[in-house]
Amino acid sequence: MAIKPMFPDKTRMVRSANALFVIFAVAPGLYLMLAALVTFGKPGFARDPNIIPWLFLGLALFSLANIGVTVFVQTSTKLMSERARYDPIGRTYLIMATGAVLSEAHAIYGLVLMLLSGSTFYGIGFTILTWASLWWVWKRFKQNLASLPNA
């Protein structure tokens, strides 16, 4: 039984990738607006505000590890190498989608901190990190896309 490719041609994959990137680029802005509206003029939802610096440190370290995993996924040639033989277009899409989801995690960390602290500082910082990470994943996707055969 032959394995059916995820995307029969590059055009569908690029359309799907564009939609995914738009969704992941817009979501952090919506998170900021939502958290700002929920905590507007309030101190935040944390019962003990002294936990915020420790939570920030923990999420910053988690975010750093997340960046490392993103770099590994985007640059590894051995990752899903078996799939590259029968579905290089699908492999390229999966690597890009994995990187985009890992990038979006930064925005969630900022949302959690913003809701708990009531400060937009955390949300804005993690949103900028999310957009920078998404931009890098998009750049890598375009490089990988250029190396694919025209199917």
Q: What would the two tokens of residue 147 be?
A: 């190396």
pTM listed for this prediction: 0.88
| Cα–Cα distance for residue pair 33/124, rounded to 1 Å | 11
Is 7 in a helix, a strand, or coil? coil
Cβ(110)–Cβ(27) below 8 Å? no
Q: What is the reported pLDDT for 3?
A: 67
What is the C-alpha to C-alpha distance for residues 136 and 133, in angstroms, rounded to an integer?
A: 5
| pLDDT by position in tens, the chain (length 151) | 566 677 767 888 899 999 999 999 999 999 999 998 988 878 888 888 899 999 999 999 999 999 999 999 999 888 877 777 788 888 889 999 999 999 999 999 999 999 999 888 999 999 999 999 999 999 999 998 888 876 5
pLDDT of residue 2: 60
- Dig out the tokens for 88 from the structure: 């290089």
**44: its two tokens:** 């935040």
Given this model, what pLDDT does residue 1 score? Answer: 57
Helix residue spans in the chain (DSSP H): 10-39, 51-75, 81-86, 88-117, 120-146
- CA–CA distance, 24 with 16 (Å, rounded to integer): 12
